[in-house]
């Protein structure tokens, strides 16, 4: 059976790490303590900080005499990433313990491991915003309640539960789905659900359709799996994360959105789903400069802002620049009668002028070739005919 790696700074967290290791071993699994601390450990370890540091692309010489804690965390994080890439086939699961620095360090290593390998981080910061630590990965975050600073009546229970949890993840099997169908990634938002559900319904007899919520990490997750080779192609109906990247919303997928499409060269059908909206949290979180804009309360936690013609022109140029780098088969579909459920005639975000600015910018800037084509359709994105066209184009390029 593969090993469970128990990772942390053994100069400050040794008692806690050793406790977790003992419970995992008691569950019949092999456990390995990996030290990523800067000083001598508090007891015997299985993989020393020098062993980890030696995996750094520039060598492990930094382990001696470095006084800058931030710089050390940066270098040992890069080392841990390289270490896990090296031993990936031996990893049954990973459990980390730490505060803010340790959490940043350990989760950087976890993020290089494939989706599906159990990853559990017990952290003092797990009750706040964990997006920077988790990213588009299946990392389980567990709040430590007390600091990770020795075993007491609270930490014994919390860390014990964590040790048993990672043991269960590694030890017990998961039923096979039985599906031998190739997988594809699809992106969806509430306002593009009818389209994506219709596309999924037409393709799921031939493909394992994995739908991702376009909330920033959703787009990142889809692209990570696309680049990993897990997908045969992508149907990226909902590119709304570009709005949040360029206008400062809360659901940005970052500058590398479309990057995996470029690098993988896999078949890609995309569209302009929900590019009519920038996402913010509750109404009182909307930046002051946007307070007088067309705002729509999607739910008590999400406020949407209608994008303007100028913003749509900007987005069209940005997307075009990305798609022009694609060497694989690309079909980008434009729904001339609206890009979401609330961008239809009579709905609060209906704005033909803004949509036209987007469509014109895409047509003007995308360099069409035999492999890269724009297709304009006289439908709203959620009309059944649009979903049929998406399916037709996808089947036409996936071969």
Q: Closest Cα partner for 4 from 22, 103, 16?
A: 22
Q: For residue 123, what is the enclosing H or E element? A: strand 119-123
Percent of the chain with pLDDT over 70: 99
Residue 252, beta-bridge partner list:
none
If you count them, how many residues does the chain have? 399
pLDDT of residue 307: 98
Q: 178 pLDDT exceeds 70? A: no
Q: 60 pLDDT exceeds 70? A: yes
Residue 188: phi, psi to the nearest 5? Answer: -145, 150
Calpha distance 229→212 (Å, rounded)? 17
Confidence of residue 69 (pLDDT cuts 50, 70, 90): confident
pLDDT of residue 320: 98
Is the CB of residue 124 less than 8 Å from the CB of residue 148? yes
Determine the average pLDDT of the residues in 244-261: 96
Determine the average pLDDT of the residues in 57-86: 91
pLDDT of residue 168: 97
Calpha distance 10→1 (Å, rounded)? 25
Q: 176 pLDDT exceeds 90? A: no
Q: 333 pLDDT exceeds 80? A: yes
> Which domains occur in the chain, in start order?
3-171 (3.40.50.12020), 183-398 (3.40.50.12030)
Confidence of residue 64 (pLDDT cuts 50, 70, 90): confident
> For the segment 381-395, what is each residue's pLDDT rounded down to a tens digit?
999 999 999 999 999
CB proximity list for 37: less than 8 A, separation 6 or greater: 8, 9, 10, 11, 12, 13, 49
Name the H helices within 59-135.
Answer: 69-87, 100-110, 131-134
Q: 160 pLDDT exceeds 80? A: yes
Regarding pTM above 0.85, the answer is no
C-alpha pair distances (Å), 19 with each of 9, 24, 28, 186, 366:
14, 9, 15, 43, 58
Determine the average pLDDT of the residues in 104-127: 95
């Amino acid at each position: 059976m593969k090993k469970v790696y128990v990772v942390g700074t053994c100069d400050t967290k040794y008692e806690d790490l050793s406790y977790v290791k003992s419970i995992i071993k008691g569950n019949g699994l092999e456990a390995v303590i990996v030290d990523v601390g800067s000083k001598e450990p508090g007891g015997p370890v299985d993989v020393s900080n020098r062993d980890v540091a030696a995996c750094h692309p520039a060598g492990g010489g930094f382990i001696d005499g470095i006084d800058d804690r931030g710089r050390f965390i940066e270098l040992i994080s890069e080392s841990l990433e390289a270490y896990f890439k090296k031993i990936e086939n031996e990893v049954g699961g990973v459990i980390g313990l730490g505060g803010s620095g340790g959490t940043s360090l350990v989760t950087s290593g976890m993020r290089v491991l494939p989706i599906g390998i159990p990853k559990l981080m017990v952290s003092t910061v797990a009750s706040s915003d964990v997006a920077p630590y988790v990213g588009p990965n299946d990392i389980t975050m567990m709040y430590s309640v007390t600091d990770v600073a020795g075993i007491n009546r609270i930490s014994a229970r919390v860390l014990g539960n964590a040790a048993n949890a990672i043991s269960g993840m590694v030890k017990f099997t998961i039923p096979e789905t039985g599906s031998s169908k190739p997988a594809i990634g699809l992106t969806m938002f509430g306002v593009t659900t009818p389209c994506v559900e219709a596309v999924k319904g037409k393709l799921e007899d031939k493909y394992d359709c994995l739908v991702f919520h376009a909330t920033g990490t959703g787009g990142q997750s889809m692209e990570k799996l696309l680049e990993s080779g897990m997908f045969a192609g992508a149907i990226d109906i909902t590119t709304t994360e570009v709005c949040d990247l360029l206008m400062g919303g809360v659901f940005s997928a970052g500058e590398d959105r479309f990057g995996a499409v470029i690098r993988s060269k896999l078949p890609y059908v995309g569209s302009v789903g929900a590019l009519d909206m920038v996402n913010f949290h509750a109404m009182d979180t909307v930046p002051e400069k946007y307070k007088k804009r067309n705002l729509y309360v999607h739910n008590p936690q999400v406020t949407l802002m209608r994008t303007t013609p100028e913003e749509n022109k900007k987005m069209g140029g940005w997307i075009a620049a990305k798609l022009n780098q694609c060497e694989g088969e690309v079909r980008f579909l434009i729904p001339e009668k609206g890009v979401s459920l609330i961008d239809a005639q009579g709905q609060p975000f209906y704005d033909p002028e803004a949509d036209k600015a987007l469509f014109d910018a895409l047509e003007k800037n995308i360099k069409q070739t035999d492999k890269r084509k724009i297709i304009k359709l006289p439908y709203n994105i959620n009309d059944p005919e649009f979903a049929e066209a998406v399916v037709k184009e996808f089947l036409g390029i996936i071969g």
